[in-house]
Structure 1
Amino acid sequence: MPGVTKEQVAAARQMTAIEFLRRYRADDLVKSSARGEFELKSHNSFKINGESSLWHWKSRGIGGKSALDYLMHVEGCSFVKAVRLLCEEQPCFIPQRHAEVERQRPPFALPEKSPTTTRVEAYLRCRGISPQVIQKCIDDGILYESLPYHNCVFVGRDAGGTPRYAALRGTYTYGKQFKAESTGSDKRFGFCIAPTAESSAAAVFEAAIDAMAEMTLAGDAADKYRLSLGGIYAPEEGRDIHPPAALEEFLHRHPQVKRIEFCLDNDPPGRAAAAALARLYGEQYQVAVHLPPIEGFDYGDLAQAALEYRTRNKAKNCARQQTKYKEGTR
C-alpha cells in the first residue's frame, strides 16, 4: 500500500475512536444525556458509545468505530496521513495536537461544473420543485450540476459571495440516494435562497431541497430568506440545543431579520429540534414552528406528493376527455 505498510494499517486500526477522543480531544468530548453516550461540542450531531466505540454523525449520514475511521471521515485526514498519525514503525501511538490535524484538512473546493443543468433540472422537477424555483437558484449561483457524476450541488456562500459550503445529492431516482458534503465545507455558510426584496423573515430547513420545496408550495414566492442548516441535532429531553452554526452566521450577517420560522421535518428529531430552537431564539426573535402537516413528512415529501396528486388528476381528466370524444363520435 503506497506510503504505509500493512503492519502500520493493522496497528492503526487497533485504536478505537472513543480512546482517541478521550486521550486527544478531551476538551471537545462531552457526555450525552443517554447512558454511556458522548457527543462533540464541535459537531453537534455526532454521537459515540463509550463502550462499543460505535459512532454516528447524523448530519453527514456516516459512522464507524476505529480512530482511523474518525480521523478520515470527521477530521478530514487522508487514509495515509491518518495511519501515519496513529502509528510509528514500532508501531506506537503518535499524539498530535488538534490544530495540527486541522491544518492537514484539504482546502474547500467545489466539484467541477457541468456546462448544462439537464439532469439536475429533471431530478428536481421529479421531486416536485417548480421550474421557477430551480431557475432562480441556478441564476443566483447557488445550484448547479457537477461533473463527472451529474450531482445536484447546493452552494453556501459567505458575506463576500465566495462559496464556502456545498451539499451534494445524486440525481438518480432509484436505489439509495447519494448524499454528501464537499470536503472542507464550512457548515456556517448554509445554502440560502435570498428574497427578491429585503425581508425581515427567515424560514429554516434541514436540507436545501426542503427550502426549494416550501418555496414551490408557497407559489414560488421569493418573499423571505430560506436557509438550510445542512442537517439538525435533536437534543435529549430536558437538554438545551446547540445553536446551529449556519443559523448563527446567517443572523449575524442579517441583523434586519426579526422573525424565524422553523420548518423542520415532522419526525421525532425534527419536532424535538424545532421546539428546542423555538425556545432558544424565542426571547430575541418572533418565532414560529411550521412543520409539514403530515407526520413523517418533510417539505420535499409534500412537494413530491403535490406533484403526484396533480399528475393523477391530469391523467383522470385526460381519460374523461378521451371518453367524451369517443362517445361523441359514435
Structure 2
Amino acid sequence: MPYIPPEVVAKAREMDLLTYLKNYEPHELVHFGGNTYCTREHDSLKISNGKWCWFSRGIGGYSALDYLIKVKEIPFTEAVEMIMGRAAVSPPVFTPRPKEEKPKVLLLPKVDRCATHAVEYLHRRGIDYGLIEFCISTGRLYESTPYHNVVFVGMDSSGKARYANLRGIGSDFIGDANGSDKHYSFGIPAAAKSDRLHLFESAVDLLSYGTLLKLYGKDWRRDNLLSLAGVYRPKKEISESTLPAALVRYLDEYPHIRKVVLRLDNDLTGKLAAETIKTLLPRKYAVEVAVRLSPQGKDYNDCLCLKLGLPITKRKEKTRER
C-alpha cells in the first residue's frame, strides 16, 4: 500500500464535505433548506453546520475524506489522493461555517383562566368543539390575558413550546410571541405512525380541514398536519429559494414521512408557493397539490364556512412571511 505522510492525511481531513462538493462535484449537491444540504444520490444524507449524517444508514462524519471512504466506499489512500489531487489543480474556496445562533427564549403571553372568547371565535369560524378541546388539553391552544388573543402554540417532538402565533379576536391583529422559532409552527402529529403530511398556511386552515374530515365521517388524526409560520413567499427564481423552515424541521424529525400533500391557499401566492415546494422537495417525497374541496373560497376555512352556511370571515390579506 502506498505510503502517505501523516501531514498530507491531516491536510486532506481539513476539507469539509460541503466545501468539497461545492468545488468539485456541484452537480451532486442539493440545497434542502436553510443551512442544510443533501446529495442527489442519497437524499437522506444531510449536510449541515460542518457535519454530515447519512440517516438511512446511521453513519456520519465531518470531512470529505470520511464521506469518500464511508459513503462512496473509496479506499483510504485513493480517497486522500483524490482530494489532494483536485485541490492541487484547483484550490478550493472554503465554505465558512454559519455562526451558531443563540437559543431563542420563547416568551408566551399569560394564560387566561377561561378560554371562552377563543372557543367562541373559533366555533364561529366553523371549527369543531372536539378539535378545539383537543388543542386546549394538549397545550396547543389557549386564550391570552389581558388582550384576549387566540394563541396557537408550536411544539417540538418532545412537546416543548417553541413557537406561538397570536390572532386577534374581533380584529385583524396577527403576530408572533417574542422568541418564537419559525422552525416549530403549529402542527398536530398523527395519532399513529403515518407516512403522510398535510401542509397548510395557517393554524385555522389546519383545524378547518380537520373539521371537514369529521363532517365527512373520517378520522382527522389519521395523518400528520402542519401549518406554516406565516405566508411562504419564494424568491423570483425557484433555484434561489429555500423550503419553509417549519417543513424542513418536521421532515427531519419525522423521517418516516414519504408523502407531502400541499393544501395552501387558493390564490396566486399559494399556487406559487405550492409549485416551489413541489420543485424543491427531494425526490424521495411524493408531492400532491390538493384539489380544492370547494370551487369557491380562498382557503380551507372558507370551504368549511360555505359548507356550514356560515359567513366567511373578512380579513386583510396576510402579509407575514415564514
Instruction: Say whether the fold is shared (TM-score over 0.5).
Output: yes
> Could you tell me how far apart the structure 2 residues matched to 1:295 and 1:237 are?
28
| C-alpha contact 1:267 1:295 (8 A) present in aligned 2 | no
Superposition pairs for residues 117-196 of structure 1, below 5 Å? Answer: 117-172=115-170, 176-196=171-191
Q: TM-score, normalised by structure 1?
A: 0.59
**Could you say if the C-alpha distance between residues 232 and 255 of structure 1 is closer, same or farther in structure 2, counting changes exceeding 3 Å?**
same
| C-alpha contact 2:261 2:289 (8 A) present in aligned 1 | yes
**Could you say if the C-alpha distance between residues 300 and 249 of structure 1 is closer, same or farther in structure 2, counting changes exceeding 3 Å?**
same
AA matched with 1:228: S
| C-alpha contact 1:154 1:166 (8 A) present in aligned 2 | yes
Superposition pairs for residues 250-329 of structure 1, below 5 Å? Answer: 250-281=250-281, 283-292=283-292, 293-294=294-295, 297-308=298-309
SS at match of 1:217: helix
| C-alpha contact 1:202 1:257 (8 A) present in aligned 2 | yes
| C-alpha contact 1:265 1:291 (8 A) present in aligned 2 | no
SS at match of 1:144: strand
**Could you say if the C-alpha distance between residues 225 and 106 of structure 1 is closer, same or farther in structure 2, counting changes exceeding 3 Å?**
closer
Q: Give the aligned partner of residue 114 of structure 1.
A: 112
| C-alpha contact 2:197 2:261 (8 A) present in aligned 1 | yes
| C-alpha contact 1:191 1:228 (8 A) present in aligned 2 | yes
| C-alpha contact 2:297 2:303 (8 A) present in aligned 1 | no
AA matched with 1:152: V
State the superposition RMSD in angstroms. 2.8
| C-alpha contact 1:203 1:260 (8 A) present in aligned 2 | yes
Number of aligned pairs? 212
**Structure 1 position 237, deviation (Å):** 5.3
**Structure 1 position 135, deviation (Å):** 1.2
**Could you say if the C-alpha distance between residues 274 and 106 of structure 1 is closer, same or farther in structure 2, counting changes exceeding 3 Å?**
closer
> Could you tell me how far apart the structure 1 residues matched to 2:197 and 2:270 are?
18
**Structure 1 position 262, deviation (Å):** 0.6
Q: Structure 2 unaligned runs (5+)? A: 1-32, 35-97, 312-322
Superposition pairs for residues 18-29 of structure 1, below 5 Å? Answer: none
| C-alpha contact 1:111 1:182 (8 A) present in aligned 2 | yes
AA matched with 2:305: Q
Q: TM-score, normalised by structure 2?
A: 0.60
| C-alpha contact 2:155 2:184 (8 A) present in aligned 1 | yes
AA matched with 1:154: F
> Could you tell me how far apart the structure 1 residues matched to 2:116 and 2:296 are?
33
**Structure 1 position 235, deviation (Å):** 2.9
AA matched with 1:234: R
**Structure 1 position 296, deviation (Å):** 5.3
**Structure 1 position 170, deviation (Å):** 1.2
SS at match of 2:220: coil
